[in-house]
Structure formats: C-alpha cells, structure tokens
Chain A
C-alpha cells in the first residue's frame, strides 16, 4: 500500500504544481531560517573535546576579596595566581596538569627585508599537548625536563610553520623572537577547536595561538600576560617579583584525572591545599574551589551568547508562521480535491486509509521542503558570514555538519506532517456522498 500511496502522492503533486511548490517553498524558508540559527548555536556550543570531556577539569580557587565575591553570587575567579598554579603543578597530584597564559612576542623571521611582526603566543607547561589531544605533524611537544630547565624550545602551528618555513619539517631549526633564539621541536597539524575551550577568557572563537613556548621560560623572561589580569588588592611588593607573589590572577589551570574517583581525591587535595594556605593568612574567603569539565566550563562562561538564544526564539516563531502558511495551502488543496476523497470513500476506502494516503503526500512535501531547506540554510549561513565579515573567524562558525543536515530534513518532515494533521483530518471527515453530486 505504501507504494500505492507514494504513486498517488507524486501524481497529486504533479497535478497541483503551483500549490505544491508554494508549500515546499514555505517549509523550506521556515526550515532555512530555523536551521541557520540552530547551526550557529550548535557550533558555538559544540564541545571540541567531547571525547575526553569527563577527564579534563578546569581548576578554580577562591583567593578573592573577603568582602566581595569575584562574581555574584559566589563565583571564584576564572584564573589562578602564579603562587597557586606553580605550587599545584609542583605537587603533581593529577595524571596530567597544565598551567598557561596568553602572551606575545615579536617574531623576527630569517632573511633580509622581512619585517619582524608581533604574534600571540601561549606560554604553557609541557602537558598542554597531550592533555588537549593536540595533533602534531612534525616532531612533538617538549617534556617536563625542558620545562624545568627553561629550554628555549617552541612549537609552531601549521599556518605559522607555513608562513615561516614554507610548510617544511622545521623541527631542529631555529627561530628568533625578541632577539632570543628558539629551537623548533614540533609543528602542529591543522587544529581549530571552536571554541578554544582551554581559554574562554578572551575571544573563544578567535582560534588557538600560533606559537607555544614553555611557561617557566616566559616567567623568567618576564613576558607579560596579554590576557585578562585582575587583582583585588595591589601586590605587596613592587616589580615583577611582587607581581608573581601577589593575589593577582592571570593563569589558567587544567588537570587531567583518569576517573571519577580521582576527581574526589583531587578535590580533597585542593581543599587541603587551600586550608594550608589559610594558615599562612591567604584565602580569606570560605572554601570555594571548583573543578569543571570543559562542557560545564563552557556553560559557566556563557560561550553561547544570549543573542543567539533570542534569535533562536524568533526563528522558531518564524517557522510557525511558515507552517501556518503551509496548513492554509494544504487546506486549500484538500478542499479542491474533495471529489477525489468522496470517490475513494464511496469505493470503499476507510477514513484511516485516506488519512494514510494524505499523510504520505505530506511526508513527501516535507522531504522536498527539507532538501530545499538545506539549500536555504546554506544561503542563510552565507548571509550571516557576510554580515559578520569583520570577524575573521566567522567561517568556523557557519559550517553545516551532517548532523545539522539530518536535523533539517527531520524538522521539515515533522513540520510538514504536523501542518498536514488538521487538513487531512478535515479531508477524511468529508462524507462519501457530499461532493459526488448525486442528483
């Protein structure tokens, strides 16, 4: 029977070209509007490290002002101090741990006439690459020894390697930065996590840094942090030393724990550490440590803008309007086909058989609408890209993946079926005698 219904559906659609096209168009536009926003939201809220989500934890300690939380109602600061991050790293209680901050250096490429340029750099401890599953094309990261010995080593991103060394295997070669010579130990493969989950404090959609260097080296060299920097009270002493010893927060810390049990253990360790520090007069606020997975951290940081949610609400309403349009068109079609319905009823089709026939037809319109809707979504995303052209990274936010494509078609079919319910129900209630013009 399904094949029969399909055949009838195709004939009906062909016989009512204009009406059917309008229906497909209405659904396509509604789906397009909706899916454009859903896609953007999906990509923004996507967790690039989902497969490892339950093993990575962002560390927060509340060393803040006793009179005032860092953030209402009682949120600890999103970064940690130099004192705490290095102490915790030293203690080494997690499977892996990383402390890092964003800085910048002036890169001085080889060759005459090539102008030096300033570049953002991530100063990080060695575990960064292993923890975040960063893929390497050549070489690898540095190890804990290099960290401790403050070796002048560096890792380059694929595009930085392209720019400086033409994309060749540059491991072993040297790179001059701020008049200091660095040795390249690794080159990354293409890596564009959206958002940059490991550092959500600056622009999380701008993409990862292009150059990496050891944390300890950066500190000794007094490279300033170019990320966020906050202090609730001024450093007690002056100068860089004073800054390192202060309560200023400017470092991100993540740990990798292999399972749930270890999370408990590590949380306890953090509590113990803070209690210890309290003895020394620090941490005036009540115990308030946090360990958040990347997913939790992204929610906490509200990576998905409220604006997107507003647009989503409006887009759904837009779809509703398009569906109302579709219902109207379907109703018109059904009433026009009144004869066909009565005839089939007279010939013995039951209400449910007719219902199935029209639902199948609606389903086909839905599929067509879904496919057209994918095209509309693509157009919508290009529109968004255009309107946000000044954001360099916008192209990463407007890509459709297969999940979204499938969702578009599914949404279209569901919408078409929902829109068809009332008209089809009406159609089946048409009595067999009514429109056959029996004298």
Chain B
C-alpha cells in the first residue's frame, strides 16, 4: 500500500548539509502494524514528517496506493493528508477552544461532507474509542488518556489508509498508556494499517513488524538485535 524507494532528505543551510535520511526504502502492506524505532538523531522524526507529507523529500519516490505522491503541490498534499493519513501526536494536539465533538470534526470539515455524514462518522469513532458519552466536554476536562483517545477518534474519522502515530503514549502514565495501546491493537485487528514511531522498546513489542532507523538508514528486524549491534559498535 505504501512504498518509499530510495528516499533522501537533506537539510541545507548556507554552511552545512545534513543528511537526515539516506537512500531510505520501505514497503508497508495493508493491515500491518509497523513500529519504527531508533535513537535520537537517527532520522525517525524526519521519516515521520516525510511519511505524513509534512515535509517534502529531497530525492526518491513515495507511492501511496500506487500513486506517486512525492511531487505533489501543496494543495494536493493537503488533500492526501486529509483523506489518506490519520495523525496521532505525542502531545495530543487537540484544539483547546473546541469540545470533543468539534475536535473530531476538524478534518471532516475540509472534506466537504454534509452535517449528517459528519455526525455519523464522529459519533461512530467516538463510540469506537469509548468516549461517545462526552461529546460536549472540553479537552481541559479530560484526562491524558481520554484526550489521546479523542485524538485517535479524530484520526479515524476520515477513514484514512493508515494511522501515523508519533510516540502515542509518551505523555501518558503506564495505566493509560496500556489502554491506548490496547485500543490501537484493536483498531489494527479491525483492519487499519498503523505506523508507529517510538523510542520505547515495550511499545515496539506490540507491533507485528519492527523497523529500526539509524543514521538515516532503515533496517528490518527485532530492535534488540540492532541495539545490541549498536552497543557493540
């Protein structure tokens, strides 16, 4: 479903060239639950930005559902982000002035759905994450775990091709973190592809495929192997 081939991302300033990603290649099939781990500075954040079309790649190709989306213009990329990708951020990033219902509503507004369709999707997703009883609450009135669930509902509402999660439990305590991970597993088992970027091995465990990023390159395989190798190197 998702295919990156030989992707490079180079940050250039007047004096310095940083190769954040070098010849990065990756294929993700439908229904996979992929974790991407690596130490800081490895390029996993860059990978996330590229995968989520938040930044443009310097060279290589990025195909989604067979369509080359590496060289779209801004408007087209916005459309793809809106329709095909669901974001889940470490710091939830809910809009504080909007209530739960309206927060989940945000990406739908840019799709042009009518009110009934939006309501159907929003309530459906809130149901799925177990927050259908609190549509009028504001983020400030919810716990961290609940806020992350709202964010997940928001990510799901547009029926995206895959969820892109950045350290989804980073700001949660163990108990909430577990329930969020359970939810993600559930969602994946129901058929949604998930790509999760994290530096915690325990999270990576939950995925059914592990990728390891180091110095801008990606490697397949269980993380312990790579961490061991790194430690010995």
Contact = CB atoms under 8 A, between A and B. Distances in A.
Q: Indicate yes or no for A touching B, C-beta below 8 A.
A: yes
Interface of A: 1, 4, 11-12, 14-15, 339-340, 343-353, 431-433, 436-439
Nearest to B74: A351
Contacts of A347: 81-82, 87, 106-107, 110, 154
Interface stretch (B45-53, B186-194, B215-223): B45-53
Contacts of A431: 54-55
A339 B55 contact: no
Given A347-B82, A350-B110, 14 more contacts: A1-B109, A340-B95, A343-B106, A344-B106, A347-B81, A347-B87, A348-B79, A348-B158, A350-B78, A352-B75, A433-B54, A436-B91, A439-B40, A439-B170
B190 to A, nearest CB: 22
B93 A436 contact: yes
B75 A438 contact: no
Interface in B144-202: 154, 158, 166-167, 170, 199
Nearest to A14: B97
Contacts of A433: 49, 54-55
9 contacts: A15-B96, A346-B52, A348-B80, A348-B83, A348-B107, A433-B55, A438-B48, A439-B90, A439-B170
A350 B76 CA distance: 8
Interface of B: 40, 45, 48-49, 52, 54-55, 74-75, 78-83, 85, 87, 89-91, 93, 95-98, 106-107, 109-111, 154, 158, 166-167, 170, 199
A48 B144 CA distance: 70
A370 to B, nearest CB: 25
Given A439-B45, A439-B167, A348 B110 contact: yes
B109 A350 contact: no
A345 B93 CA distance: 12
Nearest to A10: B97
Residue among B40, B109, B199 having the largest count of chain A Cβ atoms under 10 Å: B109
Contacts of A349: 78, 82, 110
B91 A353 contact: no
A10 to B, nearest CB: 10
A351 B110 CA distance: 12
B85 to A, nearest CB: 8
B166 A439 contact: yes
A61 to B, nearest CB: 71
Contact of B89 (A14, A344, A353, A436): A436
B160 to A, nearest CB: 10
A437 B93 CA distance: 10
A438 B109 contact: no
**Which 3 residue pairs are nearest across A and B when measured between Cβ atoms?**
A348-B82, A350-B78, A433-B54
A432 B79 contact: no
B75 to A, nearest CB: 5
A339 B74 CA distance: 19
Nearest to B75: A350
A339 B81 CA distance: 17
Given A347-B110, A432-B54, A11 B98 contact: yes
B45 A348 contact: no
Nearest to A434: B54
A12 B81 CA distance: 24
Contacts of B98: 11
Contacts of B55: 431, 433
A357 to B, nearest CB: 10
Contacts of A339: 93
A344 B48 CA distance: 17
B75 A11 contact: no
A364 B216 CA distance: 47
Contact of A348 (B78, B97, B166): B78
Nearest to B40: A439
B75 A351 contact: yes
Nearest to A15: B97
Contacts of A350: 74-75, 78-79, 110
